[in-house]
């Protein structure tokens, strides 16, 4: 009887440990969610060990979308480039502004960056719901799903970025070593996109219309970001509202370095890092606090 009682206690402890740690145990318990975070050190340790799994998911999605083929790469560039042409006609030509070459370089650089962030958000929103069978049958940190979507969006961003340098040369923009510092703001974009992808991936599990709403949100966000306009064009009374937009700091600093070869002021560097880190922390913790219920919800 003593051995039987000890066996039952051991099984109970194993189930309880599996419920707390989740993917680190052979025993998987799917139950209604109790708000709370898993143990962070084991979680992020396992997340790092499974990084190749996320990379393979990303590569599989890129193969499925034909983004590694010639015409797939062309479409990655052609789509935002055509959109830049439309906005150039609407914003610049119809408004009768001057210095069209500089504005077109600013427009394409900003749109390519915005396409990366918006693509990561849209792919991230679908990453969990679109992998229901995988989530139900495999034990792994679910955060790998939106991070895999961000990786895919980043590699789709690289061909348009290469084309931008051709546009940079054709429009006579200055070349300088300062352009290399734009990597800092690209890193902020990756961090921001990771947090937003995690947020919308979680929301999509609970509210299946999230992906239907997302394109409208992204369109409004585009209009409120320093892409179709420059920061010095904003009236002083609207400056506090515009500065509440994370892309004001991130794409603003990115554009100054890449397009104009001008080093932005210190507050732009700090603002970009602060906004991206804030959304990354909120998104990751929000996702992790809910991910143990995903298998039940899907």
Domain shared by 70 and 142, yes or no: yes
Higher per-residue confidence, 225 vs 9: 225
Total number of domains in the chain? 2
243: Cβ–Cβ under 8 A, 6 or more apart, which residues? 249, 271
Q: What is the domain extent for residue 70?
A: 37-297
Domain shared by 67 and 4, yes or no: no
Residue 233's pLDDT band (cuts 50, 70, 90): confident
What is the tens place of the pLDDT at every residue in 104-148? 899 999 999 999 999 999 999 999 888 777 777 777 888 999 999
Domain shared by 98 and 154, yes or no: yes
The answer to whether 225 touches 114, Cβ cutoff 8 Å, is yes
Domain shared by 56 and 14, yes or no: no
The pTM is what?
0.83
Domain shared by 193 and 292, yes or no: yes
Question: What confidence score (pLDDT) does residue 60 get?
Answer: 82
Domain shared by 147 and 24, yes or no: no
Domain shared by 148 and 241, yes or no: yes
pLDDT value at 19 more than 60: no
What is the tens place of the pLDDT at every residue in 160-212? 999 999 999 998 899 999 999 999 999 999 999 999 999 999 999 999 888 89
Domain shared by 20 and 43, yes or no: no
Higher per-residue confidence, 118 vs 72: 118
The per-residue pLDDT of the chain, averaged, comes to 83
Domain shared by 188 and 280, yes or no: yes
Question: What confidence score (pLDDT) does residue 3 get?
Answer: 45
Domain shared by 136 and 247, yes or no: yes
Q: Which pairs count as long-range contacts for 79-84, CB under 8 Å and 24+ apart, including other chains? A: 79/115, 80/108, 80/111, 80/112, 80/115, 80/160, 81/108, 81/160, 81/163, 83/111, 84/108, 84/111
What is the tens place of the pLDDT at every residue in 39-54? 888 888 988 888 888 8
pLDDT value at 2 more than 70: no
Domain shared by 6 and 119, yes or no: no
Distance of CA 248 to the CA centre of its chain: 16
Domain shared by 66 and 19, yes or no: no
Residue 228's pLDDT band (cuts 50, 70, 90): confident
Average pLDDT on 5-28 reads 49
Angle of the 144-170 helix axis to the 51-64 helix axis, nearest 10:
60
């Amino acid at each position: 009887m003593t051995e039987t009682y000890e066996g039952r206690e051991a099984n109970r402890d194993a189930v309880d440990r599996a419920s707390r740690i989740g993917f680190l145990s052979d025993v998987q318990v799917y139950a209604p969610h109790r708000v709370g975070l898993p143990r962070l050190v084991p979680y992020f340790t396992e997340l790092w060990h499974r990084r190749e799994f996320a990379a393979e998911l990303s590569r599989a999605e890129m193969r499925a979308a034909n983004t590694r083929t010639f015409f797939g790469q062309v479409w990655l560039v052609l789509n935002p480039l055509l959109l830049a042409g439309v906005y150039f006609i609407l914003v610049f030509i119809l408004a009768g502004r001057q210095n069209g070459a500089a504005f077109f370089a600013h427009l394409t650089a900003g749109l390519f960056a915005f396409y990366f962030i918006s693509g990561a958000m849209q792919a991230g929103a679908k990453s969990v719901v679109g992998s229901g069978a995988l989530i139900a049958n495999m034990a792994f940190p679910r955060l790998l799903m939106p991070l895999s979507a961000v990786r895919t969006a980043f590699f789709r961003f690289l061909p348009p970025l290469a084309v931008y340098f051709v546009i940079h040369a054709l429009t006579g923009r200055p070349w300088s070593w300062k352009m290399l510092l734009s990597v800092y703001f690209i890193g902020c974009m990756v961090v921001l996109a990771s947090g937003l992808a995690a947020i919308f991936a979680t929301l999509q599990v609970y509210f299946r219309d999230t992906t239907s709403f997302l394109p409208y949100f992204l369109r409004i966000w585009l209009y409120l970001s320093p892409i179709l306009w420059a920061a010095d064009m904003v009236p002083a009374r609207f400056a506090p509202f515009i500065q509440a937009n994370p892309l004001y700091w991130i794409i603003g600093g990115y554009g100054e370095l890449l397009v104009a070869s001008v080093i932005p002021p210190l507050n732009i560097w700090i603002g970009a890092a602060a906004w991206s880190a804030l959304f990354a922390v909120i998104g990751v913790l929000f996702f992790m606090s809910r991910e143990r219920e995903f298998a039940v919800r899907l």
